[in-house]
Structure 1
Amino acid sequence: MARPSATTGPPPDSAVGTTVPATPAQARDAARAFLSTLAPRPTRESAENVVLVVSELVTNALRHAGGATALDFAADRSTLHISVRDPSPVPPRERPPDLRGYEGGFGWPLVHRLSRSVAVLPCGDGGKSVCVALPR
């Protein structure tokens, strides 16, 4: 997945944004703010998918990995890139959905379904980065 990094920089013809959300609501707001800077704007469906995926990834980082340490956005002509970093080295795992609605289990499969690609990469600080690419 093409994504920004300290060594390669953002993909050509891209926009980049970074934040550290304390809540899923802050992450959704950051996603909407980033999307509003893009020209041309993503389709409504793509924008809604980005907000949903960001919310799921940050919620998972908060619930299971000790919090989100960074939320990065990048966009090129065809793809929207999202990366959520957290301090845990443990990769996300799919688990059976709780149909009673108490324990979740729906988010990780949803992220996979909406995304073109999903990668979990180790970070130098001992944590990980969950990187996804969605159609613009």
Structure 2
Amino acid sequence: MVHSPEEDEDYASLAGVSPHLAKGARDVTRGFLLALAPDGDGAEAESVLLVVSELVTNAVRHAGGITGFGLRAGQGTVTVSVEDASRVPPQQAPADPTRPGGFGWPLVQSLALDVQVSGRRGGKTVSAMLPFSR
């Protein structure tokens, strides 16, 4: 579930940033993580950034584009939520050495403590909770 800034202080969104680019989402995320933990664990931050890149890229490539993006800090965690315009859940692509890709969804699942996919009117929300020490 994506929370609005009014509901949660530990929240960031892509307001004012082009949500069509993974780079914009990573930039927002980098700032969010830096504000949470200026001296945070670099490996944990890189994992969060990698999941942001994969979820945003997958929404743009396979799900009609991004309709919402949010970050929420919890007790020792950060949750990344990406809303898109498709109700079709993410699927692992069959391995095909002749075609690039197919590694993003399994990577998200391996890095996250929990992954949720919930349908909503006009699309779905994919949320991944990752460890992040403050």
TM class, shorter-chain normalised? 0.7 to 0.9
Range with greater deviation from structure 2 (36-45 or 78-87)? 36-45
Deviations 1:46-105 (A, max 9, x none): 1000000000000000000011111100112311111000010000001123334x3410
Q: CA deviation at 1:41?
A: 4.9
Closer/same/farther in 2, CA of residues 97 and 17 from structure 1, 3 Å limit: same
Structure 2 residue ranges without an equivalent (≥5): none
**Which residue, 111, 114, 117 being the options, matches 1:114?**
111
Distance 1:29 1:5 in 2: 19
- Alpha carbons 2:3, 2:11 under 8 Å: kept: no
Counterpart contact for 1:96–1:105, Cα < 8 Å: yes
What stretches of structure 1 of length at least 5 have no aligned partner? none
Please state if 1:60 is matched with 2:58.
Answer: yes
1:100-111 pair list within 5 angstroms: 100=98, 102-111=99-108
Output aligned runs, 1:1-136, within 5 Å: 4-5=2-3, 9-10=7-8, 15-19=10-14, 21-39=19-37, 41-100=39-98, 102-123=99-120, 125-136=121-132
SS in 2 for 1:104: coil
> Is the Cα contact below 8 Å between 1:87 and 1:128 reproduced in 2?
yes
Partner of 1:22: helix, strand, or coil?
Answer: coil
User: What number of residue pairs does the alignment pair up?
Assistant: 127
- Structure 1 residues 35 and 128: CA distance shift in structure 2, 3 A: same
Q: Is the 8 A contact 1:17 1:34 kept in 2?
A: yes
Q: What amino acid maps onto 1:46 in structure 2?
A: E
Give the CA RMSD over aligned residues.
1.8
The TM-score with structure 1 as length reference comes to 0.84
After superposition, give the CA deviation of every residue in 1:83-129 in whole Å (9 maximum; x if it has no partner): 000010000001123334x3410000000000000010012x32000
Percent identity for Structure 1 against Structure 2: 45
